[in-house]
Structure 1
Amino acid sequence: MKKEINVVGAVVVDGGKILCARRSETMSLPGMWEFPGGKIEAGETPRAALAREMREELDCVVEVEEQVESTRHEYDFGFVTLTTFYSTLAGDAPRLREHSEIRWLDPGELGSLEWAPADIPAVEKIAADDAAAAADVSRPAGR
Structure 2
Amino acid sequence: MKKNIHVVGAVIIKDEKILCAQRGKGRVLPFKWEFPGGKIEEGESPQQALQREIYEELQCEIEVGDQIELTVHEYDFGIVHLRTFYCKLVEGEPILTEHVIIKWLQCDELENLDWAPADLPTIEKLTSTALLEY
* TM-score, scaled relative to structure 1: 0.90
Matching residue of 1:50? 50
Quote the RMSD (CA, aligned, Å).
1.1
Superposed displacement of residue 130, structure 1: 2.8
Superposed, 1:1-143 pairs within 5 Å as 1-130=1-130
Q: Distance in 2 between matches of 1:100 and 1:26?
A: 11
Q: Secondary structure at the match of 2:129?
A: helix
Q: Secondary structure at the match of 2:91?
A: coil
Q: Secondary structure at the match of 1:121?
A: helix
Q: Secondary structure at the match of 1:90?
A: strand
Q: Which has the higher helix share?
A: 1
Q: Distance in 1 between matches of 2:64 and 2:80?
A: 21
Structure 1: 4+ residue segments shifted above 3 A: none
Consecutive unaligned residues in structure 1, runs of 5 or more: 134-143
Q: Distance in 1 between matches of 2:101 and 2:89?
A: 18
Q: Secondary structure at the match of 1:31?
A: coil
* TM-score, scaled relative to structure 2: 0.96
| Identity, % of aligned positions | 55
Q: Secondary structure at the match of 1:130?
A: coil
Q: Distance in 1 between matches of 2:26 and 2:57?
A: 13
Render the CA deviation track for 1:36-57: whole Å, top value 9, x for unaligned.
0000000100000000000001
Consecutive unaligned residues in structure 2, runs of 5 or more: none
Superposed displacement of residue 91, structure 1: 1.0
Q: Distance in 1 between matches of 2:26 and 2:58?
A: 16
Superposed displacement of residue 28, structure 1: 0.6
